[in-house]
Amino acid sequence: MPGLRGPRLPLVGILLALPFLPLLLLPAAPAPRRASYKPVIVVHGLFDSSYSFRHLLDYINETHPGTEVTVLDLFDGRESLRPLWEQVQGFREAVAPIMAKAPQGVHLICYSQGGLVCRALLSVMDEHNVDSFISLSSPQMGQYGDTDYLKWLFPTSMRSNLYRICYSPWGQEFSICNYWHDPHHDDLYLNASSFLALINGERDHPNATAWRKNFLRVGRMVLVGGPDDGVITPWQSSFFGFYDANETVLEMEEQLVYLRDSFGLKTLLARGAIVRCPMAGIAHTAWHSNHTLYETCIEPWLS
């Protein structure tokens, strides 16, 4: 019946709409993808394990959801006393596959003794792709202080005479002695140190040029530490400061390793690639769990 028919679309209108029909049949455009973050690799310190970094993992997951975070579970507990070059080799084998799968680069967060392990990794790995190296309260210029760790390991020694042990072949088998830096026995340190004097370029060795070139591949180095640390001595060692022979602290720019640019420190600063983030009121064992510290000194550099 004519009265039951709906309105017809004019034939001309149908013909005009045909070219646009395929567009009407296309699926809806996908929602824009959230930018992915670079993988984060965490290296623990002396007597630590991966469990110590559970708070840090929570913080990263809150601010950078989806980030691949690997806390390397190597040389835990007392095994962290193994010689540092042995640890460097072990950590190198662990980080290489992570770097290989991340062509956009990775971030390193390295705590205490682990900061020295990571700096050595930056030196010996020819093709590393580290964007941010975050050194979290690490004795980058060495350690010279009577701490509970030291008293437990060498109960009959004090810092004034520990050089007799640390600067012997036997002493260099302990990680702590690998970065023991006695400002009153500098010649012994330079001759006996099998680790720190080498990565600092303070002693000539055939790999010095290559190591410097490798170190300077890093995107930026973030140095974190503070006056209330209670372990790193002097605390300015976290910023490449250290004692002179009178136990007066000389800042990074006054150190010979900086003035000579022996491993690239001066070049890195001139490039604007060194960030210093000092914070008061944080004890040594709280650097990786303090939320304010994370927001101020870590999170901004996890691109």
Q: Name every residue whose Cβ is closer than 8 Å to that of residue 6 and which is 6 or more positions away in sequence.
A: none
User: Of the listed 52, 112, 137, 238, which one is catalytic?
Assistant: 112
User: Of the listed 44, 128, 181, 284, which one is catalytic?
Assistant: 284
Would residue 233 be called left, alpha or beta, if left means φ above 0 and alpha means ψ between -120 and 50 degrees?
Answer: beta
* Coil, strand or helix at 94: helix
Q: Is 112 a catalytic residue?
A: yes
CB 265 within 8 A of CB 166: no
> What stretch of H or E contains 224?
strand 220-225
> What stretch of H or E contains 277?
strand 274-278
Q: Is 194 a catalytic residue?
A: no
Would residue 171 be called left, alpha or beta, if left means φ above 0 and alpha means ψ between -120 and 50 degrees?
Answer: alpha
Residue 19: asked if its preceding bond is cis (omega within 30°), the reply is no
Q: Is 284 a catalytic residue?
A: yes
User: Of the listed 229, 237, 238, 262, which one is catalytic?
Assistant: 229
Sign (positive or negative) of CA dihedral 293, 294, 296, 301: positive
Would residue 122 be called left, alpha or beta, if left means φ above 0 and alpha means ψ between -120 and 50 degrees?
Answer: alpha
Q: Name every residue whose Cβ is closer than 8 Å to that of residue 177 and which is 6 or more positions away in sequence.
A: 165, 166, 167, 171
Distance (Å, whole) CA 188 – CA 194: 11
Q: Catalytic amino acids? A: 112, 229, 284
